[in-house]
Structure 1
Amino acid sequence: MMSKYLSLQYHPYTTKPTKSCIIPSILTTRLTIHKKSSLSTFYGGCSASSIRPMASIEPIRSTHLDENEADPALINDDLKPTTLSQRTFSGWEMASLWIGLVVGVPAYYLAGSLADLGMAWWQGIATVMAANLVLLVPLILTGEPGARYGISFPVLARSSFGIRGAHIPALLRALVGCGWYGIETWIGGQAIFLLLPHSIKHSSLANVLPWLGTSPLEFSCFMVFWLAQLSIVWKGMEGIRVLEKYSAPILIVLTSCLLIWAYVNAGGFGHMLTLTSNLSSSQFWALFFPSLTANISFWATLALNIPDFTRYAKSQKDQIIGQAGLPIFMGAFTFVGLAVTSSTKVIFGRVISNPIQLLGEIGGFTTIILAIVGISLATITTNIAANVVAPANALVNLSPSKFTFWKGALLTALLGIAFQPWRLLKSSESFVYTWLVGYSALMGPIGGIILADYYIIQKMKLNINDLYTLKKEGSYYYTGGYNLAAMMALTVGIVPVMPGLLQKLGILSSVPNLFITIYNNAWFFSFFAAGIFYWIIRSLLSGKDSEPIDPLLAAPN
């Protein structure tokens, strides 16, 4: 009879159960230590220190997954919480991940685009650093549950959006990832194009086909690089970890070589950094805020699915140390990008913000070979880590019985082609204002809702078993598997941004200035609007929410 008051709890980082003894509070009134010791004998040998009154405890939230109780539609090997043996990412390896992510053509192009749009080099660096320091906060906060519970982003989203509702944020994140995958692959294809003989690059195959938007030759190079990446993706997360770890120092060396070249040919930093702003004060601030949003948006995707990586971290300390690498490495690489871009004004007489075009201008066999190695390595490390993992996991979460990580990655790669990335990169304005700022309206509200739910509503306590069940009494089943409060908050975050986006796309000729301001600050607006709205709604409904009752509390006396 008394065994009903004994429970086994699992710590998320161990597999050894610890005994906790719970007794009716009436039996512990005015008990001395001696009497507790007597009771410990009666209650199965529990020590006095482990006996707690029933009335003083909270319902137990499981931190250990019982796979036998998990619904087959919600679990497979890729969705299970990571085990101790799988948690191999040290702080340096997490930081190396960021080196591999940061050192790439899009990050360089983003920095160069700020100069291209009229900013001085120091204004560009300040904008990038400010954005990444802001982003570091949600990055660490979102990474915490991944390291604590060993769960991926789609599984974490179940706690706030509902077991079925989690498909919505996961697929929105996946959609953006597919677009980025296409962009990065196009850049890698351009590196191959750079290697081709001059005669081929100027043949009829290099003529642009209007219906395709690019030339057959460039599209072929794109597809070659597309196929090359799949061999690494096939090896899964361990292959990605090894790639990032050993690529980081190579990328640092190659980036340094580019900076040294610019330093020598421009005649030192004094000449390299002579590019001044051609913007008035009002023009600068009009450019600053959408540029800040664009820079936040640049990594806002990864700030959402960072649990996909932190779940492999050895500890919270390792994931935090690793995340701190973002503003450091991004700031350093931005300096390189802006310094080299500024130097092109001195060396070539015009600003060249695209590094592939710059390498083509430099010429020389050695330069081309190093360019191919550097661009290919930088592109692959960024593309696979940032743009394959999240979409693949989202598709696995959608249908664990049909999708594996590999199948999800393959579909991601196919959708990357459909985005026609050569059109997204046709100008600095389309890249910064249309692509980056536009999708931040999707990423911002999802992040705001998840963080508000995990830290304010759930108070960092998740029931792991309920994340893998479709039972109606589960903590995260909500209404038919959907958390309607999260759906409403998502709408509140996205809808006000849409008029500005439609105007930017040319679908609407004009909109009120209020909507343009909201669009230029899309991530900030959507993040806080959705997060605060969700918090208010859940707080108002907190008295009506039904928490699953721990069977121990319902045990008869």
Structure 2
Amino acid sequence: MTTTETIRSAEKERDALVEESILPTLLGQRLIGMLGYAWIWVGIAVIIATYSLGAAGIGGGIPLASVILTIALANLAIGAFMVLTADIGTEHGLSFAVYLRAPFGVYGTHLPAMSRGLVAAMWFGIQTYLGALALNGIGQYFLGFDNWFVWYVAFAIVQVVNTASGIKSVERLASLAAPAIIAISVWMYFTLEGVARTKGVNIWTYQATGEMSLLVLFIANMGFWSTLAIDIPNLTRFLKVPSGERKFFKRNRNIFLAQLIALPVTQALIAGLGAVSFIAAGNWNPVEVIQGQGQGLSLVLLLALVVLAQWSTNNSANLIPSALTFVNLAPRIINYRIAVVLAGIVGTLCFPWEILNNLFVFLGYYGAFLSAIGGIMVADYYILRRRRINVPDLYKLDGQFRYAGGFNPAGLFAWFVAGGIAAWYSQYAFLIGFPLGIVLYLLLMHALVLRSNPQQEIESGYSDDFLATSLGKSWVYLGHGQFERMTEAEAHGSEIGREDL
């Protein structure tokens, strides 16, 4: 049997920790380039819920220019954090839930991973609901049919089918949606600014009577993307990387345009539209405002692009991360396509309209616990292991990540405490949960865990045997729990294509 045939056969195995879609991606399977990844992030950032963040700032008494600048800086900060966690995907090809087996244990991973997976499913429901309202508007115009719930179910099904088709389908949708979204956003700005002008209101000098602080707005916007900040490896494991590049910035160069420009600029502009909509009509949702002003095909075009925006976000930001946590939960019985369906079902049943009515509370509490996970990930990957990971043991029930019965008490205790304290002070969640997660995890690992649970990558003196992309190699699964690092030529990675992702 050839090496390629051996690898293909091995990838069909399924056990308690192994399933094709959560195995490390090979260098030859990473197909998304810099521009494609940036388009994905433009699509991700353009969601209707973002409008409410800008409107909250305006309603809180903050001038428009300050709202836009604060939101841009908040997303630049969270984007920089994403660059750090992204290296788990670019260096080792690992998904978020599988990597969490290192700081939390092979069973302990399910608690933080599923907390993220369920939040992602809820966001899928929120986005689907908002898209369904736009679809209902189109249905009313063309068909005289008014039933948003029918559109809600139909839109959910279409998105699930598209996401189940794989990462390239997601990229193709994003490359179509993003330019259209940018164009319609420019049109929306001038339309809303015109509405304000007819009422004698200058959007740039307008100031409400609220008392929201810039810091609260800043932290809320960091919490908005704290979900993707921790599970960004789910996307970056499919990103093209220069093989054998040891320098961090060169190895991750395809990430920077998306995380440090596309995300903060797009997010700030879309939130700014929400703020302008609030100034012009007292409503944070510019789609509803323009629906009241527009008519004919221009209105239909607007609503169609709203649908496209929700769709492009849901694929990469919500369904894929949620699905991979379901696969990680039970690889023996759940494959990627089944997991996408499960994520879609959970999301559509979560009453997203109620969550949307309490968005800032939702952001504060889940952002608190996810920020603590982020701190633990950075501490484990960069400080404790120095980017080295014993990847084969991530897929072994009796390996070094078993800890105490499959649970790492240091990771779990640090998460509960740091996340709980951050949730108690939810307005400042990320500023508390992230650094506290780092400190508690490192203290507890050194005090309680490492002596009785030696970690090979640390005991080896941080040997390069536990690196992959930096050495021009991939972690290749050969079956029966065996891994080997191979170059792309050795693995014939360009000839291997996983069916699911």
SS at match of 2:238: coil
2:487 corresponds to:
none
Change (3 A) 1:314 1:344: closer
Q: What amino acid is aligned across from residue 136 of structure 1 in structure 2?
A: G
Equivalent positions of 1:113-512 (< 5 A) are 113-197=56-140, 217-264=147-194, 266=196, 271-279=202-210, 283-285=211-213, 288-315=214-241, 317=250, 319-337=252-270, 339-341=272-274, 343-344=276-277, 350-426=281-357, 430-432=358-360, 434-471=361-398, 474-498=399-423, 500=424
Change (3 A) 1:94 1:339: closer
Aligned equivalents of 1:454 and 1:297: distance in 2? 22
How far the C-alpha of 1:153 sits from its partner, in A, is: 0.6
Verify the 8 A CA contact 1:94 1:319 in the aligned structure 2: no
Verify the 8 A CA contact 2:162 2:169 in the aligned structure 1: yes
Aligned equivalents of 1:425 and 1:169: distance in 2? 23
- The superposition leaves residues 481-509 of structure 1 with CA deviations (integer Å, 9 ceiling, x where unpaired) of 111110110111122245x4xxxxxxxxx
Aligned equivalents of 1:170 and 1:302: distance in 2? 12
1:55 corresponds to:
none
SS at match of 2:454: coil
Aligned equivalents of 2:385 and 2:420: distance in 1? 27
Change (3 A) 1:274 1:330: farther
Verify the 8 A CA contact 1:139 1:323 in the aligned structure 2: no
How far the C-alpha of 1:114 sits from its partner, in A, is: 2.1
Change (3 A) 1:332 1:491: closer
| TM-score, structure 2 normalization | 0.81
Change (3 A) 1:66 1:469: farther
Aligned equivalents of 1:278 and 1:318: distance in 2? 48
How far the C-alpha of 1:95 sits from its partner, in A, is: 1.1
SS at match of 1:72: coil
Q: What amino acid is aligned across from residue 20 of structure 2 in structure 1?
A: D
Verify the 8 A CA contact 2:46 2:270 in the aligned structure 1: no
Verify the 8 A CA contact 1:136 1:324 in the aligned structure 2: no
Change (3 A) 1:454 1:336: closer
Verify the 8 A CA contact 1:393 1:405 in the aligned structure 2: yes
Q: What amino acid is aligned across from residue 434 of structure 2 in structure 1?
A: F
Aligned equivalents of 1:163 and 1:82: distance in 2? 20
How far the C-alpha of 1:239 sits from its partner, in A, is: 1.1
- The superposition leaves residues 387-431 of structure 1 with CA deviations (integer Å, 9 ceiling, x where unpaired) of 1111100011111121111111111111112220111223xxx21
Change (3 A) 1:327 1:265: farther
2:494 corresponds to:
none
Q: What amino acid is aligned across from residue 441 of structure 2 in structure 1?
A: Y
Gaps of 5+ in 2: 242-247, 461-501
Greater RCO, 1 or 2 (C-alpha within 8 Å, sep 6+): 2
Change (3 A) 1:261 1:491: same
Aligned equivalents of 2:386 and 2:269: distance in 1? 42
Change (3 A) 1:436 1:312: same
How far the C-alpha of 1:156 sits from its partner, in A, is: 0.9
Gaps of 5+ in 1: 1-14, 17-63, 206-216, 501-517, 551-557
1:51 corresponds to:
none
Aligned equivalents of 1:367 and 1:329: distance in 2? 27
Q: What amino acid is aligned across from residue 546 of structure 1 in structure 2?
A: P
- The superposition leaves residues 68-97 of structure 1 with CA deviations (integer Å, 9 ceiling, x where unpaired) of 9x9822112101111222111111111111
SS at match of 2:406: coil
Change (3 A) 1:163 1:97: same
How far the C-alpha of 1:367 sits from its partner, in A, is: 2.5
1:12 corresponds to:
none
Change (3 A) 1:272 1:405: same
How far the C-alpha of 1:199 sits from its partner, in A, is: 12
Verify the 8 A CA contact 2:54 2:272 in the aligned structure 1: no
Determine if the alignment matches structure 1 residue 546 to structure 2 residue 454.
Answer: yes
Verify the 8 A CA contact 2:68 2:272 in the aligned structure 1: no
Aligned equivalents of 1:184 and 1:409: distance in 2? 16
Verify the 8 A CA contact 2:101 2:394 in the aligned structure 1: yes
Aligned equivalents of 1:335 and 1:530: distance in 2? 28
Verify the 8 A CA contact 1:109 1:355 in the aligned structure 2: no
Q: What amino acid is aligned across from residue 170 of structure 1 in structure 2?
A: A
The two structures, once aligned, show a CA RMSD in angstroms of 3.0
How far the C-alpha of 1:232 sits from its partner, in A, is: 0.8
How far the C-alpha of 1:521 sits from its partner, in A, is: 0.8
- The superposition leaves residues 300-347 of structure 1 with CA deviations (integer Å, 9 ceiling, x where unpaired) of 101111101111111164744434434533443455445544554675
How high is the sequence identity, in percent, across the aligned residues? Answer: 26
Verify the 8 A CA contact 1:116 1:351 in the aligned structure 2: no
Aligned equivalents of 2:442 and 2:10: distance in 1? 32
SS at match of 1:73: coil
Aligned equivalents of 1:266 and 1:318: distance in 2? 47
* Deviating more after overlay: 313-322 vs 184-193: 313-322
Aligned equivalents of 2:275 and 2:22: distance in 1? 46
Q: What amino acid is aligned across from residue 431 of structure 1 in structure 2?
A: L
Change (3 A) 1:127 1:237: same
1:92 corresponds to:
35
2:428 corresponds to:
521
Change (3 A) 1:273 1:191: same
Aligned equivalents of 1:465 and 1:195: distance in 2? 51
Computing the radius of gyration from Cα coordinates, the structure with the larger value is 1
1:554 corresponds to:
none
How far the C-alpha of 1:170 sits from its partner, in A, is: 1.0
Verify the 8 A CA contact 1:65 1:464 in the aligned structure 2: no
* Deviating more after overlay: 109-118 vs 128-137: 109-118
Aligned equivalents of 1:275 and 1:99: distance in 2? 28
Verify the 8 A CA contact 1:79 1:155 in the aligned structure 2: yes
Change (3 A) 1:278 1:238: same
| TM-score, structure 1 normalization | 0.73
Verify the 8 A CA contact 1:82 1:311 in the aligned structure 2: yes
Aligned equivalents of 1:335 and 1:453: distance in 2? 32
SS at match of 1:301: helix
2:486 corresponds to:
none
SS at match of 1:88: coil
Change (3 A) 1:174 1:334: closer
SS at match of 1:272: coil
Verify the 8 A CA contact 1:78 1:404 in the aligned structure 2: yes
